[in-house]
A and B are shown apart, each in its own frame.
Chain A
């Protein structure tokens, strides 16, 4: 299991879906997961400390878990089949038993950010679908952009500076 944190929630300009980007805590790997708009809002509303008059659905779930004497141990994004991510919500009951409940990753993450529990991604899922930023291409691009400026610098006769 790889521990991750919510790095960003991004808007897809082509549709109503959102992307939550999970980042490996110990490396530069990122796992993007497509989620629905309401669930994305449920996550961002909490992360941006937006006040709501009445409890949202995930607030209600968290209140219920607490009122029933249980705690959320962690959430785990454990599978990806046919382009759908699967997650488990692992609860500890008031009797000290662990319960693993099937959930969409979006709901699990919306609950995790509210209770402050760890978010994990299965090793295989991260190995197969985690993405690392391509640093080289970024550098090349940056050098190209500076090309004109470098040419200009090269044409300067800096000896003139001393003469003035």
Chain B
């Protein structure tokens, strides 16, 4: 299990879907997951502190879990089949939290609940191997090229002049 954090929630220009980008805590790999607009809003509203007049569906879900005495342990994105990601929400119940309960969920719902109840987000190693993407290292040449004209100008300066003006 690899711990992930939410890097961003992005809008897709091609559809009404949104993309949540999870990033490895101890690495550079990202896991992009397409999610519905409602669930995307549910995640970003909460992270951005948007105040809603009435509880959204995931606020209700989080409220129900808390009121029923569940303690969220973590969520885990554990499968990818037919281009659908699968996740589980893992929680504990009971005074000594001995009883473990695992519920199937869509990653979007699991993440929207995780951000509300403040539990860690994990992805299975094989999911990252299969669907993780590493950012392409931008070669520094591009930035050097952009600065080319400026560098030339700098080198053409006779900095010994500076002293003379004083």
Contacts and interface: CB of A to CB of B under 8 A. Distances in A.
Contact of B64 (A42, A65, A86): A65
Contact of B67 (A42, A54, A101): A101
Interface in B50-69: 53-55, 57-58, 60-61, 63-65, 67-69
B101 A101 contact: no
A91 B64 contact: yes
Contact of A84 (B54, B61, B69, B104): B54
Contact of A61 (B53, B61, B104): B61
B68 A107 contact: no
Contacts of A69: 68, 93
B38 A68 contact: no
A4 B38 CA distance: 28
Contact of A57 (B53, B57, B70): B57
A147 interface: no
A17 B39 CA distance: 17
Nearest to B65: A64
A105 to B, nearest CB: 10
The main secondary structure of chain A at its interface with chain B is: mixed
A63 B93 CA distance: 14
Contacts of B105: 54-55, 60
A63 B55 contact: no
A23 interface: no
A63 B104 CA distance: 9
Q: Which range holds the interface residue count of chain B?
A: 20 to 34
B46 interface: no
Interface string A115-143: 00000000000000000000000000000
Contacts of A91: 64, 67-68
B60 A61 contact: yes
A103 B64 CA distance: 10
A84 B55 CA distance: 12
A68 B101 contact: yes
Interface string B62-102: 01110111100000000000101010010001000000010
A99 interface: yes
Given A53-B84, A57-B57, A64 B64 contact: yes
Given A53-B82, A63-B104, A104-B54, 16 more contacts: A38-B57, A42-B57, A54-B84, A54-B105, A58-B57, A61-B61, A64-B64, A64-B65, A68-B68, A68-B93, A70-B68, A86-B54, A99-B68, A101-B64, A101-B67, A104-B55
Interface of B: 36, 38-39, 53-55, 57-58, 60-61, 63-65, 67-70, 82, 84, 86, 89, 93, 101, 103-106, 109
